[in-house]
Every structure is written in C-alpha cells, then in structure tokens.
C-alpha cells in the first residue's frame, strides 16, 4: 500500500427531508446562485423545497445546464454569478449540474479563459464555495473534487480535479429518485459500479480495507441490479444513493493503484457521439478487461469469488477471470444497457482514428494502472467494442 493523505471535507446530509437543512448550512450573509438543469426539479417538488429553504437568503437562479455540461452554457452562468456578486453556488441536480457548478465556482474567480481550467492550462487556486442537492445517484461528484466539462465547439470532454472545489455539503435525500426515468436509474447504477471497478480491478497490493470495502460496494450494486424490480422501495433507493456516493468519494482508492482508462476512453465516445456517460463505460469496460486480461487476472479472479460468488472451475473450462467479465456483462444486459457500440448505431470503425488523436491530445497515450493501454491497445479495445 502506498503512502497517502486522505481528507473528504464534504458534510453529508442523508435522508428524507434533509433539503430543508440547507437553510442553516449556507450562512445567511451569502448571496446564492442556485444552478439546475433542464427543469426536472420543477416537476418533482425539489425546486419548491430548495427555494423554501433559501427564503432567508438573497438568491438568484440559472437553469439549463445540460447533461455533459458545456463550457458554452456554463460561461453564461459565470457571467451571471459575477453580475449578481454571488458568494455561494448551490448545485441542484446530478453529476452534470454539480460538475458544472465546480467550473462556475472556479471560473468566477479566474480572469482568463474559463476553458483553461478543464484543459489543464490553469490550476485552480480559488473558487466560490459550493453546496450540492443531489437528484440522481451516479457520479459521486457531490462529495469529490472532480469535474468533467465539455466544449461543444470542439467536441471535447475534459476532467479537472481540485481539492478547492469539493462541495461544502451534499444533501442526499433518496426521495428525489422517485421521479427518475428508468434509464437514468440504470445509468447511475452502472456508473457507480464502474467507479469501484476502476479502483479495484488493477493488481493485488495488500489493501485489505480497500479491497474489502470495494467488494462490499460491488456486491451491493450487483444485488441492487438483480433486485431492480424493487427500485421503488425506500431501501433500494437509499442503498443505491449511498453506494454511488461511497464509490467515488476517494476512500476506496487511497494508497492503491488506479485505472480509470474505461472512463477516459468513454469520455471521448460521449464527446463524439453523445452517448450517455454510463453507457460508454458499459461498452468500453468488457473489451478493456479482456485486452488487459493478463495484467488484471488476479483481481478479476478475486472479484469473481468475492463479488459474484463464482465457482473456481466449471465443466466447460472457461477461466474464472473471463467468467467474471461475463458476469459484469450479464449485469449490464439485465439492466438493458448494451455492451456494444453497434447497439448505439456506431458501425463504421473510421471514427477510431479521431478518438486516438483526441486521447493523445488529452494526455492519454498511455492509460491504465501499468500504463499498458497504449494507443494501439486503445485501438484494439475500440475495435473489439464495436
Ligand atoms: O436536467 P434535468 O431536467 O434535471 O434532467 C436530468 C438529466 O436529463 C435528469 N434528472 C436528474 N435528476 C432527476 C432527473 N430526472 C428526473 N428526476 C430527477 N430526480 O437526468 C439526466 C441526467 O443528469 P446528469 O446530471 O447528466 O446525470 P449524471 O449524474 O449521470 O451525470 C453525468 C455527468 O457527470 C460526469 C459525466 O461525465 C457526465 O458529464 N461525471 C462526473 C464525475 C465526477 N465529477 O466525479 C465522475 C463520473 O465518472 C462522470 O464522468
Ligand atoms: Zn463515471
């Protein structure tokens, strides 16, 4: 296990009715910019709860942050934050709105071109404080320092990370999930599952706590997938919300090798084809695991035993690691999530060259915990994922 520093400063307010607590979590001297997406919060009672909680604050709102938030839209919010002299950014939404607010909070304190932040040309040194009311469990953005921002003009999707943009608090009220379309619910489950995989399916290095907790999260998520018929129950919803948060709040990855190649290749697919984030992961991950079978075999076998309860040997002789990949695919299929690009209408491999150029441009010519995923390997993964 490597040395590490661990701090997660986000206060979690979990449970029914917790949206009201933002009245006290944001001190009354703040001028709040309330930021949300395409309007789902106006149809499920969340907007009313939030504005009621803000009744003693000065606040203004910005709506229209789209899934895979674009810098073009977010820069309008930055201008509004400056005009209204906002001192606190309140994100009410999923990963897209929360990531967008991290950008708004940092760009509002930066005089240069905002795109310098996601593109890595400016390291964030200052940001307005952020709070989050989570409306879809998936990304873990509500209590991490990551943000994924797109630029529509150039079809790019870039990640920036900073301890400065961790939300001060995150409200996790599972009741908000009641209005989620099935597609978003399955996306959230799959995204959280891959977040754990990216920190777990590397190579064994003796992190008993990290491995044990990762396996608990993976078992939870695979159980929730198998109990998808119970998705309206409070227990099911609460477990997904908590598991998705824990999957990417930084804890399970400390001192351990990390992969995240599935994510980096997936982001390029979203930038090019607009495929939902989680669905790009389900397409890339099986092909990537097979391409890296030798490097990841030990952890895949461990996952097969400890997560999916697979027998060591089966009559037809398929190896345990391959059967683990098959179990992951079967889980996605059970949620109606396709695992091939052709299922998303992508049938011409000509796009692969462009993706490889973008990967190289974004600094991802070598990916994976051993940097073994070169551009040639990425090409093979994308070809196999067709
Ligand atoms: O915009 P509205 O109208 O609110 O509708 C949204 C949106 O269309 C809808 N929705 C959200 N909550 C709802 C709801 N509909 C009904 N009822 C509710 N309670 O769901 C749609 C998708 O929302 P979005 O925020 O895009 O989903 P998600 O949370 O999956 O976020 C995806 C984004 O997060 C990034 C992804 O790349 C993508 O841009 N990620 C961020 C990460 C991070 N910051 O750590 C890590 C992830 O790996 C991921 O890359
Ligand atoms: Zn993700």
Q: Which atom of ligand 1 is nearest to the CA of 157?
A: 37
> Token digits for 164?
């400065």
Which top CATH class is 11-176? alpha beta
Q: Which atom of ligand 1 is nearest to the CA of 263?
A: 48
Is the CB of residue 99 below 6 angstroms from any atom belonging to ligand 1?
yes
Q: Which ligand is nearest to the CA of 136?
A: 1
Q: Where residue 122 falls among pLDDT bands split at 50, 70, 90?
A: very high
Is the CB of residue 176 below 6 angstroms from any atom belonging to ligand 1?
yes
What are the tens digits of pLDDT across the range 50-86? 999 999 999 999 999 999 999 999 999 999 999 999 9
Q: How far is CA 18 from CA 24, 48, 146, 350, in A?
A: 11, 13, 24, 49
**Spatial CA neighbour of 38 closest among 69, 84, 72:** 69
> Token digits for 50?
């939030």
Candidate of 10, 35, 37, 199 to mutate for ligand 1, largest count of ligand atoms within 8 Å of Cβ? 37
Is the CB of residue 250 below 6 angstroms from any atom belonging to ligand 1?
no
Task: List the chain domain ranges.
Answer: 11-176, 182-384
Q: Which ligand is nearest to the CA of 267?
A: 1
Q: How many angstroms separate the alpha carbon of residue 91 from the centre of ligand 1?
A: 12
What are the tens digits of pLDDT across the range 16-62? 999 999 999 999 999 999 999 999 999 999 999 999 999 999 999 99
What are the tens digits of pLDDT across the range 184-237? 999 999 999 999 999 999 999 999 999 999 999 999 999 999 999 999 999 999
pTM over 0.95: yes
The hierarchical CATH code for the domain 182-384 is 1.20.1090.10
Is the Cβ–Cβ distance between 58 and 90 less than 8 Å?
A: no
Is the Cβ–Cβ distance between 141 and 114 less than 8 Å?
A: no
Q: List 159's β-bridge partners, or say none.
A: 148
Q: How far is CA 61 from CA 12, 74, 118, 143, 171, in A?
A: 23, 13, 24, 22, 18
Q: Which ligand is nearest to the CA of 149?
A: 1
What is the structure's pLDDT at 370?
A: 96
What is the structure's pLDDT at 316?
A: 82
Q: List 59's β-bridge partners, or say none.
A: 32
Is the CB of residue 70 below 6 angstroms from any atom belonging to ligand 1?
no
* Residue 123 neighbours by CB distance under 10 Å: 12
């Amino acid at each position: 296990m490597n040395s590490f520093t661990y701090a997660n400063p986000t206060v979690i307010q979990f449970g029914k009715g917790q949206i009201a607590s933002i009245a006290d979590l944001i001190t009354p001297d703040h001028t709040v910019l309330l930021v949300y997406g395409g309007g789902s919060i106006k149809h499920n009672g969340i907007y009313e709860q939030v504005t009621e909680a803000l009744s003693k604050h000065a606040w203004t709102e910005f709506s229209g942050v789209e899934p895979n938030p674009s810098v073009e839209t977010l820069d309008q919010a930055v201008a509004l934050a400056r005009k209204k002299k906002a001192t606190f950014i309140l994100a009410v939404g999923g990963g897209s709105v929360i990531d967008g607010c991290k950008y708004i909070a940092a760009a509002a304190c930066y005089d240069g071109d905002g795109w310098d932040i996601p593109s890595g040309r400016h390291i964030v040194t200052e940001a307005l404080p952020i709070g989050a009311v989570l409306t879809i469990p998936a990304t873990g953005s509500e209590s991490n320092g990551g943000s994924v921002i797109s630029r529509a003009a150039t079809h790019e999707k870039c990640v920036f990370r900073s301890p400065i943009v961790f939300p001060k608090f995150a409200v996790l009220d599972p009741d908000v999930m009641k209005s989620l379309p099935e597609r978003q619910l399955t996306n959230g489950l799959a995204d959280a599952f891959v977040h754990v995989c990216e920190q777990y399916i590397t190579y064994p290095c003796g992190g008993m706590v990290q491995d044990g907790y990762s396996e608990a999260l993976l078992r939870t998520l695979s159980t929730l997938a198998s109990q998808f018929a119970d998705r309206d129950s409070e227990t099911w919803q609460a477990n997904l919300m908590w598991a998705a948060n824990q999957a990417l709040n930084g804890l399970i990855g400390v001192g351990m090798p990390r992969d995240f190649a599935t994510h980096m290749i997936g982001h390029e697919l979203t930038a090019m084809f607009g495929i939902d984030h989680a669905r790009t992961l389900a397409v890339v991950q099986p092909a990537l695991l097979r391409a890296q079978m030798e490097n990841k075999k030990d952890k895949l076998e461990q996952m097969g035993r400890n997560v999916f309860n697979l027998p060591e040997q089966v009559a037809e002789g398929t190896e345990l690691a391959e059967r683990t990949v098959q179990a992951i695919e079967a889980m996605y299929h059970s949620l109606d999530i396709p695992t091939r690009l052709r299922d998303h209408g992508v049938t011409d491999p000509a796009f692969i060259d462009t993706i490889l150029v973008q990967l190289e441009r974004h600094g991802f010519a070598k990916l994976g915990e051993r940097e073994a995923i070169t551009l040639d390997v990425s090409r093979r993964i994308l070809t196999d994922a067709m």
